[in-house]
Amino acid sequence: MMETSMRIGARWAGTIIVIRNYALIVMILALGGIFVITRDAQADDKPVVIASFSTSIDGQDENVKQNIMIACSKIDGIVISPRSLISFNEIVGEGSAKNGFAPGRVLYRDQVVMEPGGGLCQVSSTLYNALLMAGCVIVERHRHFQPVTYVPLGLDATIKYGKKDLRMRNPHAVSLRIELRADDASLRAVVSAERKIPHRYEIATEEEEVPLPSAGEMDRIRPGMMVHVYRKRYRGDVLQENSLLYRDYYQPAYIR
């Protein structure tokens, strides 16, 4: 989005002349010239980055990295108009072989399985965190059954085409633009606004272990966890609001 600046000019014989010397203003006024304010189309300020979030894909296999690259290519450059929604599934589509997605590791409840589209949840989770930090409103978001390793506990967003989506609303009076890029080591989401917004946001989590009775002969390898997710809104350095967005509960994990 181009931001325009103002310049002072004079209309003289049908021609607009840019004036840098203010002594000339008095002369033109005396001669009956008419001053006009024009927009300088040469001023092309870059959008303001309001949030960014990165995750590591360094340990992912090549199929997963390929799937991540495909999803990034579909989302990168998307603009969310004021008050409108973004849907991950509508943009990316089904993570199927016919759509070009390769088999990759997918966390399904408490198991890792091989399915086309493995890696898409890392894309949705990375995007989710950037949009949270940009102040976007959660319309639909689902957690994984078990914690994932690429984002902090409680900040994941799983997707399943036709069943589970990530949908967020832009609450601002300006459009937001998403940049989503990946290389061989990392995945990065950047959210820019067409001009500066009045607030900035921070995300914070609090974790607590949930005590549960013994599961007989099984050994617990991870306790049950409750995560409280908060968003802080600042104006300058002044904290204006600290809102509890949601609570997530992750069941304990056992082995026999």
pTM attached to this predicted model? 0.79
Domain residue extents for the chain: 5-40, 48-197
175, 48 contact by CB (below 8 A): no
Contacts from 226-229 at CB under 8 Å and sequence distance 24+? 227/153, 227/154, 228/154, 229/154, 229/155, 229/203, 229/204, 229/205
Using alpha carbons, select from 34, 30, 4 the residue that is nearest to residue 19.
Answer: 34
% of the chain with per-residue pLDDT over 70: 76
Using alpha carbons, select from 42, 47, 8 the residue that is nearest to residue 196.
Answer: 47
Confidence at residue 220, expressed as pLDDT on a 0 to 100 scale: 60
Task: Judge whether residue 254 has pLDDT over 90.
Answer: no
Q: Cα(90)–Cα(123) distance, rounded to whole angstroms?
A: 14
95-110 tens-digit pLDDT = 999 999 998 887 776 6
208-227 tens-digit pLDDT = 998 766 656 566 667 889 99
Q: Cα(182)–Cα(70) distance, rounded to whole angstroms?
A: 10
